[in-house]
Amino acid sequence: MSNIKISINQINTKVGSLHSNTKKIVQKIKEAEKKDCDIVCFPELTITGYPPEDLVLSETFVKNNLFALNKIIDSTDNITAIVGYIDSENDKIFNSAAIISNKKLIASYRKNKLPNYGVFDEKRYFSPGNQIITLNNKDIKIGISICEDIWEDFEVCKLQADLGCNLLININGSPFDKNKKMLREKLLSNVSKDCNAHLVYVNAIGGQDELVFDGSSMVYNFKGEKIISLPSFKEKSEEIQIDLEVNNNSKLKNINQKKFKIIDKNISIKTHKRFTDQKKIIKTSHIEDILNALILGTKDYADKNGFKKCLVSLSGGIDSALVTAIACKAMGNKNVKAVTLPSKYSSSHSISDSEDLCNNLGLELEIIPIKESHKSMLFSLESLFDGTKENNAEENLQARIRGNLIMAISNKFSWLVLSTGNKSEIATGYATLYGDMAGGFSVLKDVPKTMVYELSKFINLKEQIIPENIIIKPPSAELKPDQFDQDTLPDYEILDMIIELYIEKKESFKKIVNNKQIRKTIPESKILEILKMIDRNEYKRRQSPPGIKITPLAFGKDRRYPLASDHKYTYTDYKSS
């Protein structure tokens, strides 16, 4: 039995920030060297940050990433480092893992399986690799892979096991969604058990535009048991020692080796004192993970774009209350500015509830009435609107006045405006373009209304932050007298179920109509109307600010619908049309 000491580093990088990313990598390598580690490993594309998107189409950027790699190579002494970077050869570029030992690049593993679904566009940029790299020292044999290589059929890992690898190291840029952690754990357990090898899974952490990487790095033993887990949504370095037995895997002898080039490299491994094997498992709840994703996504979007303060427009409703609570956790209450902009239709409790929320959070609330502004704008439109009936135009004018005012404040003080719409509203178009949709970042863009309530109640478990009246009162846009959301939309539990089935699970109209729980609540015609609302409001979503991906399928990169389109053939048969 042999022993190895590994430093796992789930670090928060910024896309394109080669200097700061490299500085952080070098620092962590030096720390691992001092702790007598044999291997130090980092997430996927650590040097460039993930995902670098069209930055990789710049030859200069790719060259600079290689210069940064050389600096890391020069800083790596008595240790083996595994660092994600972009490799290039013959006008092709590769998503790669540099394997550095004693100030030399001894090998470069190129990602074999390139994801091209959902938020991933890797085939747009990278060419697939065709190598299998193993690192060897006596009875220790280590296989290196990158993210998607371990998913689906995990062919690369099976081949590494077939070659005798008793340790697999997989570096990742795997973004969070509410189902991902459970899927990962099941997968990693199966891979380690089927390959009869220990598995080190190191993932990135941090917010990058719409994506949040949760870290949650893990180590599994050859029995498929999780023995180490790093925290979610926090930067963390962890040193682990693993006892490894020779892998005499007889299950995997039919893997096609001809399509791969096999590269074996020797590395140095020190002699370590024996240690007591202890499990170190960190557990968090499902709703806590979602809240932490929203907090980190908001914090990093502001920090990485240079915003010191943010601004929220409070309506007295639950969405803006939750956004404000998240903003305070992300940026600190000293850096959160709150305004409320009541109209003649605003209820007294909308103002008092907003004041109570701000008192609970230690914020000052600026009250800017819009009654006179609304009257003035209606007067400007009087001759043009003369002889017409009042409709959404007059109502939405109030939202657009609010949008103008908060963007003016943002413009004046360089504060980031956090818009407050949730996924249920954004899906159905129950939001005003250039009004309440105005802003720089949409915190709840992928959070359904029912989850908004769940998150608000969770926040209140430790301390009453969001006033009870905000949680229990019926939601209303308050753009006309006695207006409530359910005048236009079905109950949010049913609406969110339809959105989940249609958007996230991509189910057909026929299948949704046959859902008994939905049909006993609303008629077929209403279901069809909701699906049409979702599709025809794509033009609004295209003009909305980016927001944090929480569900398996979010609007934006995950779902790319045409604007000018006849959607009816997604609901009706061609023959019957």
Interval 31-61: pLDDT, tens: 999 999 999 999 999 999 999 999 999 999 9
CB atoms within 10 A of CB 553: 18
pLDDT at 473: 84
Q: pLDDT tens per residue, the chain (577 residues)? A: 688 999 999 999 999 999 999 999 999 999 999 999 999 999 999 999 999 999 999 999 999 999 999 999 999 999 999 999 999 999 899 999 999 999 999 999 999 988 888 888 898 999 999 999 999 888 899 999 999 989 878 888 889 998 889 999 999 999 999 999 999 999 999 999 999 999 999 999 999 999 999 999 999 999 999 999 999 999 999 999 988 888 776 555 545 666 788 889 988 888 777 666 666 777 889 999 999 999 999 999 999 999 999 999 999 899 999 999 999 999 999 999 999 998 887 677 889 999 999 999 999 999 999 999 999 999 999 999 999 998 888 888 999 999 999 999 999 999 999 999 999 999 999 888 898 899 999 999 999 999 999 999 999 998 899 999 999 887 666 666 665 667 677 888 999 999 999 999 999 888 999 998 998 889 999 999 999 999 999 999 999 999 999 999 999 888 888 888 887 778 777 665 5
Q: Are the CB atoms for 229 and 218 separated by under 8 Å?
A: yes
Instruction: Give CA–CA dist 218/228, Å, rounded.
Output: 5
Q: Are the CB atoms for 255 and 158 separated by under 8 Å?
A: yes
Instruction: Give CA–CA dist 517/409, Å, rounded.
Output: 46
pLDDT at 457: 96
Q: What are phi and psi of 288, to 5 degrees?
A: -65, -40
pLDDT in tens, 474-499: 766 666 666 566 767 788 899 999 99
pLDDT at 3: 85
- 3-state SS of 430-447 is CCCCCCCCCCCEECCCCC
Place of tokens 């020797």: 266
Please spell the DSSP secondary structure of 217-255, one letter per residue.
-EEE-TTS-EEEEPPBSS-EEEEEEEEE------S----
pLDDT at 483: 59
Instruction: Give CA–CA dist 83/100, Å, rounded.
Output: 8
At 42, list the tokens: 């980092």
SS3 (DSSP) at 175? strand
For the sheet containing 80-89, what is the strand order?
104-110, 92-101, 80-89, 39-41, 2-10, 236-244
> Where along the chain do the CATH 3.60.110.10 domains lie?
2-267
Amino acid identity at 316:
G
SS3 (DSSP) at 483? coil
Q: Are the CB atoms for 401 and 341 separated by under 8 Å?
A: yes
C-alpha dihedral, 107 to 113 to 117 to 123, nearest 10°: 60
Cα radius of gyration (the chain) = 27
Largest CA distance in the chain: 89
Task: With CA atoms as reference, report the closest residue to 50 among 271, 236, 195, 202.
Answer: 202
> Where along the chain do the CATH 3.40.50.620 domains lie?
287-485+545-552
Residues 6 or more apart whose CB falls under 8 angstroms from that of 426 comprise: 437, 442, 445, 537, 540, 541, 544, 555
Instruction: Give CA–CA dist 12/204, Å, rounded.
Output: 7
CA distances (Å), origin 40, targets 169, 197, 276, 502: 11, 19, 21, 44
pLDDT at 276: 61
pTM for the full model? 0.93
CB atoms within 10 A of CB 259: 11
pLDDT at 301: 97
Q: Are the CB atoms for 512 and 518 separated by under 8 Å?
A: yes
At 441, list the tokens: 């970042």
Q: Name the superfamily (CATH) of residues 2-267.
A: Carbon-nitrogen hydrolase (3.60.110.10)
Task: With CA atoms as reference, report the closest residue to 120 among 153, 89, 148, 162.
Answer: 148
H-helix or E-strand containing 419?
strand 416-419
H-helix or E-strand containing 203?
strand 198-203
Instruction: Identify the bridge partners of residue 539 per DSSP, sorted by sequence position.
Output: none
Catalytic residues: 44, 111, 147
Q: Are the CB atoms for 301 and 216 separated by under 8 Å?
A: no
pLDDT in tens, 534-574: 999 999 999 999 999 999 999 988 888 888 888 777 877 76
Q: Name the superfamily (CATH) of residues 287-485+545-552.
A: HUPs (3.40.50.620)
Relative to beta strand 140-146, strand 205-208 is unpaired
- End-to-end Cα distance, the chain: 70
